[in-house]
Amino acid sequence: MSPTPTLRDVAQLAGVSIKTVSRVVNEDPEVTEATAARVRSTIEALGYRPNPLARSLRTGRDEAIGLVVETISDPFFAAVTETVEEAAREAGLFLIIASAGRTPDQERAVVLGLLHRSVCGLIVVPCWLGYARERLPIGPGGVPVVFIDRPPSGLEVDTVVVDNEGSAQRATAHLVAHGHRRIAFVGTAIERFPLRQRLSGYAAALAAAGIEFDPALVVSHARSADGDAPLLSGVLSLEDPATAVLSANAVASLDVVRHLHGCARTDVAFVSFDDFPIAESLSPPVTVARQDPALMGRTAIDLLLRRIRGDASAPQRLVLPTTFVERGSGEIAPVRVARAAPDAGRPTRRRTRAAAIPPCSTTSQR
């Protein structure tokens, strides 16, 4: 009758008390099967659905979990989200996705918004907020939380990250093994986690190979004045230019691809941290250290569900591996270049081709 029927409507129509209906809804065994059946059919007839708001207000907990990411337009987190979603659905939980925005205040508002909506668990990519300082009612004693992709500094909670340092180290060592000594590191926000760890791995691999770390080979969107300008032009036009490139994430990888393809520079070796859609069909196909977003999502939600169900064991810090996929671009040998004449060592064909293509310092067409 009423637009959205309530317990009262059902109770009235079934000729029982509100509480009895509530019991049936919550599958309380202390109800006669006869009345339960009658109530159930009334519920069906009225199309009654429990109001999660009222329920949460009462219990202080909703049958929902929250997922906070920096931006859902990041393909990696989109993939993570998809897995979490699937798992939440299986577990009968409503998934609320929200994104953290661009400032600590926005992120705090989002987390608090979720918390105040009484989610029973939270998966968070900590972006801008110092969770140790905030003293939010999360983690042990509060609403269960699992942090993913980045650890929240100084907080003892469950965390799932990938092996950033080790993977970057391996990728760099791979390039070194193929003869490169001038390897550029390209990223979009190098100063922050997880790119900082990838930079560490890169540096560690260089050190292990006895190659000096050259800051001139490390480029970041954050440092460049024009974010849209190809990051690579600089390092490829140094007096002693880079012969190989390691990109720090998929976004940077696309920039690298755009630039290398724009210049037809198939002589530059390239390894991408993280896979991207057409990496395998470019020429040459791009060698990648592939992250597994599904594994991250699955691991995080499994951990969270355990916590929600009461697991109070010590917080875990899980580190996921990456898969190194050799496809070609990472196995290109360096072209030896004389210091005095940067172009001297290039094969003739390249030179000819390079002369035929337009200059490469401009941004690509839009």
Partner DNA sequence: TTGTAGGCGTTATCAC
Partner DNA sequence: GTGATAACGCCTACAA
Residue of the chain from 41, 51, 103, 364 that contacts DNA (CB under 7 A): 51
Q: Is 58 in the site for DNA (CB under 7 A)?
A: yes
Residue of the chain from 46, 189, 204, 254 that contacts a second copy (CB under 8 A): 254
Q: Is 192 in the site for a second copy (CB under 8 A)?
A: no
- Tell me the C-alpha distance between 261 and 5, whole Å: 61
34 makes contact, choosing from DNA, a second copy, none, with CB < 5 to 8 Å by partner type, with: DNA
**In terms of C-beta density within 10 A (0-12 exposed, 13-18 middle, 19 or more buried), how is residue 53 classed?**
exposed
Q: Residue 143 corresponds to which amino acid?
A: V
Q: What are phi and psi for residue 13, nearest 5 degrees?
A: -65, -35
72 makes contact, choosing from DNA, a second copy, none, with CB < 5 to 8 Å by partner type, with: a second copy
Q: Is 296 in the site for a second copy (CB under 8 A)?
A: no
Q: Is 94 in the site for a second copy (CB under 8 A)?
A: yes
Pick 88 or 218: Cβ nearer a second copy: 88
- Tell me the C-alpha distance between 115 and 132, whole Å: 17
Chain CA centroid to CA 358, Å: 36
294 makes contact, choosing from a second copy, DNA, none, with CB < 5 to 8 Å by partner type, with: none
Q: Is 12 in the site for DNA (CB under 7 A)?
A: no
- Helix 33-46, helix 18-25: angle, nearest 10: 90
Q: What share of the chain is helix, strand, coil (3-state, %, to 5)?
A: 40, 15, 45
Contact region with a second copy (CB under 8 A), list: 95-103, 121-129, 165-173, 195-203 = 95-103
Contact region with a second copy (CB under 8 A), list: 18-26, 172-180, 239-247, 253-261 = 253-261
Q: Is 208 in the site for DNA (CB under 7 A)?
A: no
Q: Is 72 in the site for a second copy (CB under 8 A)?
A: yes
Are 162 and 295 within 8 A, CB to CB? no
- Tell me the C-alpha distance between 19 and 25, whole Å: 10
Q: How many CB atoms lie within 10 A of CB 233?
A: 17
Closest CA to 22 of 61, 53, 44, 55: 55
313 makes contact, choosing from DNA, a second copy, none, with CB < 5 to 8 Å by partner type, with: none
- Tell me the C-alpha distance between 35 and 21, whole Å: 9
Residue of the chain from 20, 56, 247, 249 that contacts a second copy (CB under 8 A): 56
Binding residues for a second copy, per CB under 8 A?
A: 3-4, 49-54, 56-57, 62, 64, 71-73, 75, 78-79, 81-82, 85, 89, 94-99, 101, 106, 110, 112-113, 116-118, 137, 254, 257-258, 261-262, 276-278, 280-283, 285, 327, 364-366
